Structure 1
Amino acid sequence: MTNDHEGLFDKEKQNVPKPKMERKDGEPTSAFKGASVAALIIGISAYLIGLFNAAMELNEKGYYFAILIFGLYASVSLQKAVRDKEEGIPVTNIYYGISWVAIIISILLMGIGLYNAGSIVLSEKGFYAMAFVLSIFAAITVQKNVRDTQKAREAD
């Protein structure tokens, strides 16, 4: 009789799901990583879909596309430079300064372009501005998540 009960307990132990890979100390949660990537995809997609459907000349579309790519690169570069400096990794002052100048220029170019765009209605200007800001912020967050995950896994 005791053998039947022991077999029952053994079966229960076998059906217990294995724990997921534990999150390392300092590593962002999967939910935060997913939300960051989703925000990046949504921001870039919305911006590009709006640009594709916009009633503007091809050179104007190229201008706004180039600003988006420039802004994304500048934001990731700035995040990396700031983080490297904070962690004591050598960063030249020129690269650090260029990173700041690049992000400021991309934001100014976007603002100036939208301000001077006569063919775009005000609500559309707001749409492009918000999609641009969302994309830049999400790119910074995704870069930070990648860096935090890598650092947490290397600590072990």
Structure 2
Amino acid sequence: MMSNEHEVSLDKDVERKPKVKVERKEGEPTSAFKGASWGALLVGVSGYLIGLFNAGMELNEKGYYFAVLVFGLYAAVSLQKAVRDREEDIPVTNIYYGISWFALIVSISLMAIGLYNAGSIVLSEKGFYGMSFVLSIFAAITVQKNIRDTQRAKERD
């Protein structure tokens, strides 16, 4: 049986290096959160595109699903920017705000309707495309938010 005295002396022998603290500006997201956001976007978009590339569907169907992804990503980022601008009292016209909402709803609807009516896609693939689409949209919003928060934090200096 070891004594507490011996355990304490072992702890003293171990050199402890001080942790290097990375200075973050107020309001700036952590590097881990930025990395996780970019990783989620990369996984979502690349998974969706790899699945689309390997799918046994007609080229026009592949084009449809690709266009819906691009449209959805743009609509999500546009809406996030419009909402954030309004929150920060940056002028956003009602028409732009409304179109941003409309575009996101249309892109999600086009994806849902396309997957529902796709006879050449098995149910598991439909789920895969749906989840990749949602992950990509969420990650795009988060990446855009991180970029904006980082830029704002740098401007405060």
TM bucket (normalised to shorter chain) is 0.7 to 0.9
Aligned to 1:148: 149
Runs of 4+ in 1 over 3 A off after TM superposition: none
1:24-35 matches, within 5 Å, as: 24-35=25-36
Aligned to 2:37: 36
Aligned to 1:54: 55
Structure 1: where are the runs of 5+ without partners? 1-15
Between the two proteins, what is the percent identity of the paired residues?
81
1:7-156 matches, within 5 Å, as: 22-156=23-157
Please, what TM-score do these two structures have when normalized by structure 2? 0.87
Q: What displacement does 1:136 show?
A: 0.1
Q: Distance in 2 between matches of 1:35 and 1:84?
A: 24
Return the letter of the residue paired with 1:84. Answer: D
Aligned with 1:94: secondary structure? Answer: helix
Structure 2: where are the runs of 5+ without partners? 1-16
Q: What displacement does 1:20 show?
A: 6.0
Q: Distance in 1 between matches of 2:147 and 2:86?
A: 17
Q: Distance in 1 between matches of 2:76 and 2:49?
A: 18
Counting matched residue pairs gives: 141
Q: What is the CA deviation profile of residues 35-59 of structure 1, one whole-angstrom value per residue up to 9, with x for unaligned ones?
A: 0000000000000000000000000
User: What is the alpha-carbon root mean square deviation over aligned residues?
Assistant: 1.4
Q: Distance in 2 between matches of 1:129 and 1:27?
A: 31
Q: What displacement does 1:21 show?
A: 5.0
